[in-house]
Structures are given as structure tokens and as C-alpha cells.
């Protein structure tokens, strides 16, 4: 087993410094870990410049922050992945 880093045991100001160095995808994934991590991310008060949601055979979410794009695609049809 790999050693783990006790990030959530650090003081909040140190946690925030660490989070400032993560990518948008990493921040999103971090926010899904627990209620505490979700609340930490909410304290960043990030605001998207533009959000695009498409729903068809899949759900696609594009979120633009400044010059960065975060994309999340959820497939609901196994056939659409194989084609």
C-alpha cells in the first residue's frame, strides 16, 4: 500500500494553498470526496464564464473558467461508446 498524505488534517489555510495548485479536473474530483471537501471547494467561490450542457445519447458538460475548459461526458448508452 502506498503512503498517504493527510491533506485534510492540515490547517485550512495550508489546504487552500495546496488546492490552488490543482487543475480544474483535480479540483472537481476533490470536491466529490466528502461534504468537507465540497465545502472547501465552495469557499473558493469559483465562477464559470460560460456553461454548456448537451443532453442526447450522452450528457456533456463544458465549463469555461478564463482560458480553461473543463469537460465532463457521461454516457448512458453502451452502444454509443462502441460506435
Any bridge partners for residue 52, and if so which? 62
Concatenating the DSSP letter of every residue in 35-58 gives HHHHHHHHTT----SEEEEEESSE
- 3-state DSSP assignment of residue 77: coil
What is the pTM for the complete model shown?
A: 0.64
Is residue 41 a contact partner of residue 30, using CB atoms and an 8 Å limit? Answer: yes
pLDDT string in tens for the chain (83-residue length):
777 888 889 998 898 888 889 888 888 888 889 998 888 888 888 788 989 999 988 889 998 887 888 888 888 766 655 55
- 3-state DSSP assignment of residue 17: helix
**Domain extents for the chain?**
1-46, 47-83
- pLDDT value for 52: 93
- pLDDT value for 16: 85
| Residue position matching grid coordinates 468537507 | 36
Amino acid at each position: 500500500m502506498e503512503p498517504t498524505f493527510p491533506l485534510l488534517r492540515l490547517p485550512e489555510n495550508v489546504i487552500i494553498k495546496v488546492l490552488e495548485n490543482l487543475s480544474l479536473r483535480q479540483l472537481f474530483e476533490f470536491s466529490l470526496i466528502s461534504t468537507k471537501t465540497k465545502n472547501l471547494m465552495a469557499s473558493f467561490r469559483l465562477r464559470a464564464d460560460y456553461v454548456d450542457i448537451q443532453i442526447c445519447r450522452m450528457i456533456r458538460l463544458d465549463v469555461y473558467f478564463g482560458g480553461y475548459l473543463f469537460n465532463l461526458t457521461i454516457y448512458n448508452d453502451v452502444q454509443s461508446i462502441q460506435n
